Structure 1
């Protein structure tokens, strides 16, 4: 093939062929020509061709023969250069085909960019290559370097080019390849300080940049660089362009592939969420059916709360409007009074959505027709799933239905209870054994201590208050009725003040003004219920007259006023509750605190005059008064307490005088 090329070139330029030289020239010229042809055939180096010509000159070849040998040398070198270019082009095309084949396989965007930069560096035989793309997190036209290959420093990490800087910006503006033989000394484009610093650190000089496009859109630019000053040939620029075009197509496919994978991942996530939501919905429907079945079967609140515990997989507590525990399942016993103030502080009592209170405990109110029946508490952790939140809201509604049904259920039983309490309040006496039998049929022991509570409700909430009071009475195993427009309850217990507070709290959540509640007792037989009612009624009237409407109190809590209102005035209890601690102290320690207290009030509250009357030092009186304050409270000198204390002192003195008067008579009779 090489000899055929030699023949064609000899004929083209009118040069004698080797055969002509053999017939008409010296043997030395022929030998030189054959040597040149051997070098051409063997792809010898260029300096060997020059050596053959020099050898022919030394052998005496001159004149036309020497010129012919030199011309054949030049012709051979030209043929060799063309063949080398063809081989390089063929190798480059093969590399491009391999690159295209490699890029045809599915790759991510990052892997595609790495393949492009690696093949660009190897294809053009340069030191460093990289791709510049628009910054994804900026909309101001900034560019960022990606997928560097061949670099030796780390200054390129997250290297960002401002808008209009570097060869990349020039390529973006011209949509054509651009190159420079020495980047840092070239002022034909705008430089960027960070990029120049990196170029200098890498020792780069010659840089070629070609556009990297995705279809009709410009995606970025492909860069190759050498660490020496050089010029890029047309073939190199063309190869870089072809690689950039192939890379642009592959990059477009990779972007679409990444987007497709992202969409598929999002679809898988949505499918997983949908399946989870479907499972939650099925579980929610099943749980709703189970809870509703319990309510329809007439279960107790405790059974319903236990089922909620199982379904929610968390401890559950059901409380009344003011923190009174109705039912509990799990480790939340006795914490209702702790949670209720927190609910009031956040204003969530009438918000049906679950609210996080503390320690992973969630609260949802139990509402019926805008009325607050209580709250459901669940220790479900710091966050609720959608299914758990929905089940918690539904559980609260089911509990509200159950409590509402209990308030309105068993009308016959309710009438029987109302009639029993009404009979107990009649002034016409009924057989006591008959009343006790009727009470026992209702599960109530009238021979046990009970307190009588009266609630007076103002405004239009009377019907709701009656329903709420009836539910409270049933829950506490008591009786309830309406008598002379007031709500009357007979509740088991010995503390009328506590019972009054309980009823007051139960009815205070209703719309309108808070109720006024009074209580008396305890009573332990059916005949005493009427007396307890009258005492509570007088206490209620006294509270209204004193401007204490909207509060709760018992006759005992009204002090000496309660003593006056009581059917059975208990002077001993009044004295003991007022100054009993001082009397006990004197008796145990043989002190004279009561005598000091008498002297203090007799002298108009003057410690000095009291000391003169007692014949002691004023400091002694002061110390005794301090001890009295420790025993009966620091507010004992306030007018209201002082009046009760003086009344108790006088009653105690009269009782002591009467007892001392009766003692001799008793001795004489003996």
Structure 2
């Protein structure tokens, strides 16, 4: 028996030794096979097979980790390679070659948009067989590339020619068919708001791209766009340099300064593209400019800092931030602090504050612009990586709104893959920005949804959010409080929920829209509300129309009091309103003394609260009394069967 145990331990140690030596799984299987042939006891053999299974899992995990590390290393290598000095053709060839090899596909190509001709043309390709040659033109409004530019994120198809979601064209389909392509993924080449082209990768077999593939393609697109724009800028700069060389010695001096600035600009952009953090880039900027640097986002929240800017929260600096964002130029403050807008195209990304150790000379202003641009490049790269995952979240929310009758389990599983539990209570918040600020509000909503672990969708000019929460009114208030200062004017917000079933999300969305429409109809643009905030209007707006619940919430204490003590507070309250609020006339109708009515009204105030006679509360109480009488009448006509909790008073 001891010899058998010793043999078992020896075999397990052998498995661990093979695992430590990174031996292939086949050697582990051979070891178990030999042990099985040696006549090892069944229990020992079972434990040995369990050890072999666990070792195989460890081996697989190590392999996946090595693959991820290799992918990240390859992406860093690409980023470094794209920062090398190229002419445009060499750069494009490098991009397509690395894209094809990184994704393991058969072909990669880049198209540029030609606004004058109204179409796109192939600028370079790698791995093509015949048809997709340089200069080949394809129409704007068709194909997977147009979808990628429209959505600003990578778009893919496992089998393009048979994919009915895409807008096909005969010209493009003919080329795809001639090349024998099946799976295609496309990433937009964006620099700021300028979508100047598309980066494609394609294979000649059907392939379903993973989230990792899409994220990698998004990063490659962002890097390629920056590198192409940088090379274009450098080529234009080089042409300027050639013309400047023909000028005087003053021109030579200016050229030297330009080269210095260009080197600094290249250094900063390279630093941004090398995978460094924003804090690392800010430290580099502070060293070049000589001073304290602070970067804030569009909501004035600090993102990164080096040193201290003493007047960062001063009134003059905040005014300068607004001026710099409006003019798109650096603004100097009296104490020497510089405020520089961080922008990408027409989009405001944030602001850079510099408190220099020494006053800036003439070269300082261009340096400020270059520093802000390098920050913008890094923020855009980070945004591109986030957008790949964000598109899957938005697509899930849109499916919940468009197809709520799909299997609930399917939605729950898709949400769990994104780290969200749809079985927890969620509320729907609908935002209607006023004054044409939807673009800025939509960007904020995407960021807010990520921070709150929720979803965002844009439907018919309104921005919808699905947020984990139990109080719809509180969620609407929080959204209004954060978005209103950002836009500089109020926004109208409706909310509904909570719901814990994906199938009820569309219903909650409709209720939130009705709340929003009710606010507009009530001339309350810029306010926020949920069905509960609207009182009896909420009962009318709700799909459930829970009249019994409204009665209980409004006059339930009085009904319970009458039922427990055989009193007539409900009847007295009815008579009081019927008498126009006169205790004397109510006493006459009830055939009691006015003092009795007064004492009953005091008891009613104790039960409902001292504000029950305020116009809004009084209206809700009267509506509840009417509904209560209707419920009692229906119960009477139905043979005395209880209609609701509100009938417990016996009225």
Task: Output the TM-score relative to the length of structure 1.
Answer: 0.41
The higher radius of gyration belongs to 1
Task: Output the TM-score relative to the length of structure 2.
Answer: 0.42
